Amino acid sequence: MRIAIAGASGRMGRMLIEATSRDEGARLVAALDRPDSAAIGEDAAAFLGSPAGVPISSDVDAALAGADFLIDFTRPEATLAHLEACRRHNVKMIIGTTGFSEAQRARLVEASRDIAIVFAPNMAVGVNAVFRLLDVAARILNSGYDVEVIEAHHRMKVDAPSGTALRMGEVVADALGRSLADCAIYGREGHTGERQDTTIGFSTIRGGDIVGDHTVLFAGLGERIEITHKSASRMPYALGSLRAARWLVSRDSGLYDMQDVLGLR
């Protein structure tokens, strides 16, 4: 698999480069970054002590000309610009970017008519196993339990709640026959009154270098059930992305997520 990576000098970009370098079935062929990045021109894998012979570039079209896949964990605006370039070059995408608006998500759907895309709020296999566990738990605990989603991330994260937390809320809401848009509570302050039975609450923590912690709490009378996933590093996201790329090899178009990749539908 010929892999191009966006955001190559960032923390996630470097983890993707490391994972690609270790994967015998993958080859790093391009590394992209912003035009104003101080890393432009540097070897993308120099930080590993084993240069890859791939300089970091801001020329998207040149980078994609020799790639089969672009893995993108950047920002919505950058990802959408890369999306159009991938359509021009018939390059498949693995997108881990979060914070898209509904209008921006619609552009992913439109592009998927031309190219194959895996778009997921979290690429880690363990997190996607948790999504399935939440679906089962919510169907069992469908009455008499209050649901709260608590997430924590590093101080540099710019969107809240996290895409993973929102997806957890969506999974629970769907299992309960609700719409998250109608039942989500994203903040409490002051005299809020009693909690409504049908709401799903979200709590967000930002601090330090926390990679990503997520807990869904089902609180009933006399008991609590907590389903938690904690990330110690970004490597699970990178490994999941490469697994998604391998799954996309045989697909020419369509919009998929990690539940498709893992056969959990």
Predicted local distance difference test score (pLDDT) of residue 99: 86
Same-domain pairing of 77 and 93: yes
Predicted local distance difference test score (pLDDT) of residue 98: 87
Same-domain pairing of 103 and 138: no
Number of independent structural domains in the chain: 2
Same-domain pairing of 11 and 112: yes
Same-domain pairing of 48 and 68: yes
Same-domain pairing of 131 and 153: yes
CATH number, position 240 = 3.40.50.720
CATH number, position 140 = 3.30.360.10
Same-domain pairing of 144 and 60: no
Same-domain pairing of 57 and 92: yes
Catalytic residues: 153, 157
| H/E stretch holding 2 | strand 2-5
User: Is the bond preceding 161 in cis, omega lying within 30 degrees of 0?
Assistant: yes
How many angstroms separate the Cα of 200 from the Cα of each of 168, 197, 229, 257? 10, 9, 18, 23
Same-domain pairing of 56 and 144: no
User: Distance between CA atoms of 76 and 69, rounded to whole angstroms?
Assistant: 18
Weakly modelled stretches of the chain, pLDDT under 70: none
Same-domain pairing of 141 and 57: no
Same-domain pairing of 159 and 255: no
Same-domain pairing of 44 and 79: yes
Same-domain pairing of 43 and 89: yes
Predicted local distance difference test score (pLDDT) of residue 124: 93
Predicted local distance difference test score (pLDDT) of residue 265: 78
Boundaries of domain holding 222: 125-231
Residue 183 has phi, psi (to 5 degrees) of: -120, -5
CA angle, residues 238, 239, 245, in degrees to nearest 5: 90
Sign of the four-CA dihedral 135, 140, 143, 145: negative
| H/E stretch holding 140 | helix 125-140
